[in-house]
Chains A and B, each alone.
Chain A
Amino acid sequence: MSAAAASPAASAPTGGTAGCGDLPVLRERGQREVFCGLTGIVWLHRKIQDAFFLVVGSRTCAHLLQSAAGVMIFAEPRFATAIIDERDLAGMADANEELDRVVTRLIERRPDIRMLFLVGSCPSEVIKLDLSRAAQRLSKRFSPAVRVLNYSGSGIETTFTQGEDACLAALVPEMPAEPGRARSLLVVGALAEVVEDQFLRLFAALGVGPVRFLPSRRASELPPVGEGTRYLLAQPFLGETARLLEGRGATRLAAPFPLGAEGTTAWLRASAEAWGVDAAKFDAVTAPGIARAKAALAPRRDSLAGRSVFFFPDSQLEVPLARFLARECGMRLTEIGTPYLHRQHLAEELAMLPAGVTLSEGQHVDRQLDRCRATKPDVTVCGLGLANPLEAEGMTTKWAIELVFTPIQGYEQAGDLAELFARPLARRARLMV
């Protein structure tokens, strides 16, 4: 809330810029009710099975992780926090020596670790602890058994899923070079294993390939990248990763995101076109999936069609989700809040949004709550700090974090995705007390 942001002009819609269609964007600054990028560790540590995430931060960071990870932390988590204490701040202890000591203890305790991420936090960024140099130093010491990388998941720099972007961006320089100009497809963004396998079968049937995934299930088996690499973003929050991949010669296949039958088809088509797959073959391969998705969607559509939905900013998935809910479930969009709007990566999505929708970027949570209450949406998509209070006010909510932790991409998940939004409504209708 700088003085400028607090002026009335800052709340007024500003004109969209290139790539954003005609949609006005409401930009606000104020209290942001969002997670920081450290939260990405909660799913990344399960996705990359030989990696360990060591947050260098404060007790707040450790507390955030255990609160966000809930009960999962107990299954011998592959993350921990090196808590900075006053001796580190007073310069009585050399922070670098301290870090080396903690990392050594950790690697002794977990000899199975192949890759260690030093994850920066707000405190480590503010005191300018140079984790990239620490990572180089430690990498040298533990080479070749353990590779040490770093990225920042601090709240001052990253919002929720941007933590994954920062992590994957740290992996890009580590990817081996693809020799020659051999063409390959790289799917970028952490996906559920079942979804990866479904996509692999579809790409194989289309004759698109070889197909690799970033992140890979093992950090020690990173996919190669080079001039021939065509990449598809599976997630909308990967701006920095995409930039670095392009730096390594890879080319993005522009597409909407694989949510719903329509999104999945368009996403697959982008690869099919790059590989010159003929239309008949494409239709033959995708038809069964489309049919199943539509069949699964039909009953949910009955309960969702005509209902209105309001999105608070959370993960950057809001725009593709809104597109899916509007076009395939018949929902009415009110406001779509996103923490950050990557115009280029979302160009295809924005073009598909119906007219009359309000896009908002950034947040002033109290004002947004005022708008939400005034709008009286049928479903409000929001974080866990807001969900129960809004339910207590009589609103129906869908907590947004679940959309990151649940397999929602691809044809087979289209019905499940709609179900996530239909369930709170069904529950409200069912409860008689």
Chain B
Amino acid sequence: MELAVWTYEGPPHVGAMRIATAMKGVHYVLHAPQGDTYADLLFTMIERRAARPPVTYTTFQARDLGGDTAELFMEAARDAYARFTPQAMLVGASCTAELIQDDPGGLARTLGLPVPVVPLELPSYQKKENWGAAETFYRLVRAFAQPRGPRAEGSAPRANILGPTALGFRHRDDIIEVKRLLALLGIEVNVVAPEGATPADLARLTEADFNVVLYPETAGVAAAFLQRQFGMPMTRTVPIGVGATRDFLREVATLAGVDAGLAEEACRLPWYSRSVDSTYLTGKRVFIFGDATHAIAAARVAAEELGFAVVGLGTYSREFAREVREAAKTHGIEALITDDYLKVEEAIATLRPELVLGTQMERHIAKRLGVPCAVISAPVHVQDFPARHSPQMGFEGANVLFDTWVHPLMMGLEEHLLGMFREDFEFADGAAPSHLGHAPKAEAPPEPVASGPATWAAEAESELRKIPFFVRGKARRNTEKFAAERGLATITIETLYDAKAHFSR
């Protein structure tokens, strides 16, 4: 058993729902107890979809367990087909139904429905949401993708865009940006899937020359299958950030056999980041956590495009732990691979970053610790399914990243004035950036240092208070570490400045 205050991912059948809901003409019959329909509101409320997810639940109850739950499932599948007449059906079990072992796949076969039925085996006590989405999409692609027909001579290169799902973080707008990138190179889009695709569209996937994998978490397995089975190459670069977008254009151009030459749109991030107003962003210490794709991309943008110092990088996507570890190495740090919310909280508290880039959960860890934060990855709540165009990918996506990540930080002049004058009655120490209008936050309590904590002399303590709020935690920690390493019993003003000199090297 595992104690979970919060889970970064739902169970795998929620991943399957994300595929079914993204697609058209697919219906999912889910063997599940009463109550599991809560998952509908992820789509109708958080993503604000205007239609019910195409999911029929058996919603069995305790009294059904004595009877024939298999019959219940067949009835639900028959009814769902008759009512919704989908082009294809997904059938599967939720965690509780997995325990009663009714075999939805086998049962559905005996019904002889006139459409393809794709059975899903999603081990709920082992795997999670993204795995469920990837597996479901793979099963569908495997069931429907047809061998490639001969291509007409001289036709424009064509690509599929794979990965966007329902409940995906900014998937809606990323599709638009990636289509624009492909258009810059004269590449046609064959099929976007699963979002908006039908089973018939999946059958035509092989009419493209290659696959653009936007989200390896959901489409990696299916794209690898298409590569293996039909020789379709796939992209490896996810175009989040200016550098990654340029790399992506080059990679795609090579796959399509076209010239990447002038394929670049105006992007404001490089100039905004070079303008002198951004100088104070240099070396800001940032902690990054999310799904692997967004975390790796964010680390590159933070370091190379905004000039931050990446002090922490981690993911809850265990399937991509290797990639995240490699990325962390390039920043000279150790990756945090965990789905334990409390471990992430601990890491942030220890590292004392000046900015956290994370998920909905990191937002609240950051709130508790009084650290600015921006959301870069699912899981997210309703406010991160915005009405306005807000991609993460491509050149416009980079503009969005610049604004979003800089926004929670204190503005430069404000920061300077706080450092100089510490007794202003309105513009007080520890106040949140004044453009955010939040109430002042209490300073996070100092953490005890493991080996014999030195005590702070009163005048050293008051000197410490003169250090700006957002770096004070780091200064306290460094000084205590410095004192502990030297076996000092008392921290004086001298110790404070010795430590400052020591750590600034």
- Provide the residues of chain B in CB contact with A58, threshold 8 Å: 11, 95-96, 124-125
Closest chain A residue to B46, Cβ basis = A67
Task: Give Cα A99–Cα B94 distance, bound, in whole angstroms.
Answer: 23
A60-B10, A125-B62 given; A74·B38 CB < 8 A: no
Segment of A17-25, A177-185, A387-395 engaged in the interface with chain B: A387-395
- Provide the residues of chain A in CB contact with B3, threshold 8 Å: 80-83, 102, 105-106
Q: Does B37 contact A (CB under 8 A)?
A: yes
Query: Which secondary structure characterizes the binding site on chain B?
Result: mixed
A32-B37, A60-B11, A67-B38 given; A74·B364 CB < 8 A: yes
Asked whether, in the complex, the Cβ of B34 is within 8 Å of the Cβ of A34, the reply is yes
- Provide the residues of chain A in CB contact with B251, threshold 8 Å: none
A123-B99, A156-B60 given; A84·B125 CB < 8 A: yes
Asked whether, in the complex, the Cβ of A85 is within 8 Å of the Cβ of B10, the reply is no
Q: Does B83 contact A (CB under 8 A)?
A: yes
Interface centre among A2, A83, A156 (most CB of B within 10 A): A156
A38-B35, A59-B128, A60-B95 given; A388·B67 CB < 8 A: no
B29-57 vs A, Cβ < 8 Å mask (1 yes, 0 no) = 00001111111111011001111100011
B49-75 vs A, Cβ < 8 Å mask (1 yes, 0 no) = 111100011111110110110011001
Interface centre among B71, B75, B123, B126 (most CB of A within 10 A): B75
A2-B68, A366-B83 given; A385·B40 CB < 8 A: yes
Asked whether, in the complex, the Cβ of B4 is within 8 Å of the Cβ of A80, the reply is yes
Closest chain B residue to A105, Cβ basis = B3
- Provide the residues of chain A in CB contact with B59, threshold 8 Å: 30-32, 155
Task: Give Cα A159–Cα B37 distance, bound, in whole angstroms.
Answer: 12
Closest chain A residue to B342, Cβ basis = A109
Asked whether, in the complex, the Cβ of B1 is within 8 Å of the Cβ of A385, the reply is no
Contact of A31 among B14, B42, B49, B76 (CB under 8 A): B76
A36-B34, A156-B34 given; A392·B51 CB < 8 A: yes
Task: Give Cα A401–Cα B45 distance, bound, in whole angstroms.
Answer: 13
In whole Å, how far is A137's beta carbon from the nearest beta carbon of chain B?
Answer: 15
Asked whether, in the complex, the Cβ of A122 is within 8 Å of the Cβ of B38, the reply is no
Asked whether, in the complex, the Cβ of A98 is within 8 Å of the Cβ of B61, the reply is no
Task: Give Cα A35–Cα B36 distance, bound, in whole angstroms.
Answer: 7
Q: Does A357 contact B (CB under 8 A)?
A: no
Closest chain A residue to B47, Cβ basis = A388
- Provide the residues of chain A in CB contact with B62, threshold 8 Å: 125, 154, 156-157
Q: Does A205 contact B (CB under 8 A)?
A: no
Task: Give Cα A355–Cα B361 distance, bound, in whole angstroms.
Answer: 51
Q: Does B254 contact A (CB under 8 A)?
A: no
Q: Does A73 contact B (CB under 8 A)?
A: yes
In whole Å, how far is B436's beta carbon from the nearest beta carbon of chain A?
Answer: 17
Contact of A3 among B50, B56, B71, B99 (CB under 8 A): B71
Q: Does A386 contact B (CB under 8 A)?
A: yes
Closest chain A residue to B42, Cβ basis = A67
Q: Does A374 contact B (CB under 8 A)?
A: no
In whole Å, how far is A5's beta carbon from the nearest beta carbon of chain B?
Answer: 9
Task: Give Cα A59–Cα B6 distance, bound, in whole angstroms.
Answer: 10
Contact of A62 among B7, B65, B71 (CB under 8 A): B7
- Provide the residues of chain A in CB contact with B2, threshold 8 Å: 82-83, 85, 102
Contact of A83 among B1, B39, B41 (CB under 8 A): B1
Interface set, chain A 371-415, CB cutoff 8 A to B: 383-389, 391-392
- Provide the residues of chain B in CB contact with A10, threshold 8 Å: none
Asked whether, in the complex, the Cβ of B7 is within 8 Å of the Cβ of A74, the reply is no
Q: Does A64 contact B (CB under 8 A)?
A: yes
A3-B71, A67-B42, A102-B3 given; A34·B95 CB < 8 A: no
In whole Å, how far is B445's beta carbon from the nearest beta carbon of chain A?
Answer: 15
B398-440 vs A, Cβ < 8 Å mask (1 yes, 0 no) = 0000000000000000000000000000000000000000000
Query: Which secondary structure characterizes the binding site on chain A?
Result: helix
Task: Give Cα A388–Cα B52 distance, bound, in whole angstroms.
Answer: 8
Task: Give Cα A58–Cα B94 distance, bound, in whole angstroms.
Answer: 10
B1-21 vs A, Cβ < 8 Å mask (1 yes, 0 no) = 111111101110110000000
Contact of A388 among B34, B50, B125 (CB under 8 A): B50
Q: Does B143 contact A (CB under 8 A)?
A: no
A31-B56, A86-B126 given; A66·B6 CB < 8 A: yes
Interface set, chain A 56-99, CB cutoff 8 A to B: 56, 58-60, 62-64, 66-68, 70-71, 73-74, 77, 80-86, 88-89, 93, 95, 98-99
Closest chain B residue to A101, Cβ basis = B1
- Provide the residues of chain B in CB contact with A102, threshold 8 Å: 1-3
Q: Does A1 contact B (CB under 8 A)?
A: yes
- Provide the residues of chain A in CB contact with B36, threshold 8 Å: 36, 60, 64, 155
Contact of A59 among B10, B37, B60, B79 (CB under 8 A): B10
Closest chain A residue to B41, Cβ basis = A384
Asked whether, in the complex, the Cβ of A123 is within 8 Å of the Cβ of B57, the reply is no
Task: Give Cα A32–Cα B83 distance, bound, in whole angstroms.
Answer: 16
Closest chain B residue to A66, Cβ basis = B6
A62-B4, A73-B6, A123-B95 given; A155·B123 CB < 8 A: no
Task: Give Cα A387–Cα B43 distance, bound, in whole angstroms.
Answer: 12
A6-B75, A63-B14, A157-B62 given; A126·B100 CB < 8 A: yes
A385-B37, A386-B52, A389-B51 given; A84·B1 CB < 8 A: yes
User: 27 A-B Cβ contacts within 8 A?
Assistant: A3-B75, A31-B37, A32-B59, A36-B35, A38-B35, A59-B10, A62-B4, A70-B381, A74-B361, A74-B367, A80-B5, A81-B4, A82-B1, A82-B3, A83-B7, A84-B125, A85-B2, A85-B126, A123-B96, A123-B99, A126-B65, A126-B96, A126-B100, A155-B61, A384-B44, A386-B40, A392-B51
A-side residues, CB < 8 A to B, are: 1-3, 6, 30-39, 56, 58-60, 62-64, 66-68, 70-71, 73-74, 77, 80-86, 88-89, 93, 95, 98-99, 101-102, 105-106, 122-123, 125-127, 154-157, 159, 366, 383-389, 391-392
Supply 16 further A-B pairs (C-beta < 8 A) apart from A58-B96, A88-B1. Answer: A31-B59, A38-B35, A60-B14, A62-B4, A66-B7, A71-B364, A82-B3, A83-B4, A85-B126, A102-B3, A125-B62, A156-B34, A385-B40, A385-B41, A388-B44, A389-B44
